[in-house]
Amino acid sequence: MTSELIKIESHQVPKLENRCRLSDYTPAKFNSVFTKKGIKKAIKKGFVTINGEIGYTADYINGGELLELYQPKIPKKRPSITITLQIIYEDDYLAIINKPAGILVSGNKKYTLENALPNNLTKSKQKDALLYPEPIHRLDYPTSGALLIGKTSKAVILLNRMFEQQQVKKKYRAITIGNQEENGIIEDPINEKPSKSEFKIIMSIPSRKYGTLNLVELIPHTGRTHQLRIHMSTIQNPILGDLKYGKEDLISMGNGLYLQSSHLSFTHPFKNNEVETAIPLPKKFSKIFPNI
């Protein structure tokens, strides 16, 4: 490994009954990288070695190997952007912010919410404080609402683990189009993967253009990409403003997607108290449903 990387963990592979690929064996073997997606990224970046040699996702583990995990000595400097974010909750370990619609959470572009976090959050005083706080989950570009942020290395690990084990409860609010059942569960697979969403109508109103508009509470029980948007479209009640999954003749132009991450609740991984956040409806929702 180069001098720009430092070793952070080692794992001695025990005797195995059957050999398996590095990418299949390694998840949950290192405390610093818990998820399968995270370990695949680490392998692809050359951060995992097998007996001192850089490992690849297709390499086979037979048993007896020494696996080592590395990380960069100095975090790569990121661009900084100045936008004011609404902080819903913050302590030394984590934060919850109200993500505005119309901004990417992260990615290769400069204008991302992730690049605005250092200018909005108070730096943690913990020994493993992150120079760049990390979003724990994702919200689509047009979606607004509650977004959980990790401020320390251990917080990121534990919060990711809580998401994997479905210990973070999420609720969304959306405005959907058309006559809709009062409540229901949708379990249509997405990309051949099991998927489950729950919905409950809060209020419905007649609409000259759309027939009926519904203010709906949505609960995702799995975390597939665009899951709620796809499931609402599947039952013929697309979310208002959905340019990707909506019906072409029923698309609302100019006001964006009417989907909000409205509630987050979980047990604090360090303080053990219950953290519950509820974000008020965006103004564009209230214009359609002024009595809520």
DSSP letters for 135-203? ESS---TT-EEEEEEEEEHHHHHHHHHHHHTT-SEEEEEEEEES---SEEEE---BTTB---EEEEEEE
Known catalytic residue at 24: no
- Is 135:179 a contact under the CB 8 Å cutoff? no
Set 92, 140, 242, 249: catalytic member: 140
The DSSP code for 27 is: T
Within 8 A by CB and 6+ apart from 2, the residues are none
CA-to-CA distance for 95 and 146, rounded, in angstroms? 10
As annotated, the active-site residues are 140
